[in-house]
Structure 1
Amino acid sequence: MHLVLNSPLGKIQVSGCEKGIHEIKLPEAVPEKSTKEVSFTCDVSEEPEEMTESLKQCIAWFETYFREPWVTEKLPIPAFHHPIFQQDSFTRKVLEILFKHVKSGETVTYKKLADLSGNSSAARAVGGAMKSNPVPIIIPCHRVICSSGEIGNYMGGKENCLKEWLLAHEKIQKRA
């Protein structure tokens, strides 16, 4: 099953099945308007005939995220049904720790996330785990930054403006 959400970022594609969300694809274009000018609404533009519970939860999560990102911590997250989450791996561990420990409006360095994951010398591997994240924004790989304070490469470096937008959105919205 596949649905498309209209969001302040553009069209977000979500695929899944009755067992959970498979993947979230973010738009490749960066919002042209500043965060203050963007409408923080999110709605479904294309949806399957039958909506699974996971897809419904995903829609509710994104609708809330674009209005009040800090409130998403209180929402149920949709089940994930992607091979990364079906195996015991470093990537899965890092993604789970990131989700549990780094909240809206916060950031963490690749090194600190490696430390939290039990392998302090695995900062580069943490970067690989972020690149492999099949459910961006829900598992907030955009909140992981370099030790220097630079934002690092988001989606292979081609969407750093998108990462900057997400971080600014969370900080601006949290202050409101």
Structure 2
Amino acid sequence: MASRLAPKVNSRQGESQCKEKYVVLLSPVGKLKISGCEVGLHEIKLPKMSMLPSGAESSAACKVCEGMEEMTEPLKQCLEWLCAYFCEPARTASLPMPAFHHPLLQRDSFTQRVLWTLLRDVKFGEAVSYKQLADLAGNGRAARAVGGAMRSNPIPIIIPCHRVICSSGQSGNYAGGNLLKEWLLSHEKLQKEKLAY
């Protein structure tokens, strides 16, 4: 797929223009459109699911269906991580995490702190309530703001906003739709149970 110039984005090295590249991964939950540059990932766009995939747990496979010819290192790392997540979740712990290059993750804000806390502290197969995540991020009264941070997460699945649920135990809303959130939670629970044996 052709590259295009993205708007200027603050990076740790200062201002830089980046050439955004795209790749589409066909996964057990549908097509994930991933964008990034040489510096890091910009975004993962989730498919909207209208029905749960059948037999996906046993026949999970991933393949690149667009953009393979111009992949940057962060895109390669992202693809490897996502393929492991769907097919061999235990491998994700040993894989390098792709760098992120999205403005939301570069500036110091409560949203950024919540997303980094979620990535660091809520492990595969675990779930946390909006209130618990607010506590972990340093402001226990900001559960509603945590919901806003989850809605603005540019890198879902890797930054696991699907693991944030309501205090009642209900799954809550999700950018890819509630079916996708339930599938991801179920996938992690099933894989974690398999690893326990």
DSSP-derived class of the 1:49 partner: helix
Q: Is the 8 A contact 1:7 1:40 kept in 2?
A: yes
Matched letter for residue 22 of structure 2: H
1:115 equivalent in alignment to 2:135: yes
1:133 equivalent in alignment to 2:156: no
Calculate the TM-score normalised by the size of structure 1. Answer: 0.93
Aligned to 1:172: 190
The separation in 1 between residues aligned to 2:99 and 2:77, in whole angstroms, is 9
The separation in 1 between residues aligned to 2:144 and 2:55, in whole angstroms, is 31
1:23 equivalent in alignment to 2:39: no
* Higher CA-based Rg: 2
Aligned to 2:7: none
Aligned mate of 2:181, from 157, 163, 175: 163
The count of residues paired between Structure 1 and Structure 2 equals 174
Residues 1:11 and 1:84: Cα distance change in structure 2 (over 3 Å): same
Aligned to 1:69: 89
1:27-73 Cα offsets, whole Å, 9 max, x none, are 11245334566521111011153221100100100110001224312
Calculate the TM-score normalised by the size of structure 2. Answer: 0.84
Q: Is the 8 A contact 1:70 1:170 kept in 2?
A: no
Extract unaligned runs of 5+ from structure 1.
none
RMSD of equivalent CA atoms: 1.5
Aligned to 1:5: 25
DSSP-derived class of the 1:153 partner: coil
Q: Is the 8 A contact 1:35 1:169 kept in 2?
A: no
Q: Is the 8 A contact 1:35 1:165 kept in 2?
A: no
Matched letter for residue 137 of structure 1: I
Residues 1:134 and 1:83: Cα distance change in structure 2 (over 3 Å): same
Aligned mate of 1:60, from 80, 88, 108: 80
The separation in 2 between residues aligned to 1:36 and 1:15, in whole angstroms, is 25
Q: Is the 8 A contact 1:84 1:92 kept in 2?
A: yes
The separation in 2 between residues aligned to 1:41 and 1:31, in whole angstroms, is 18
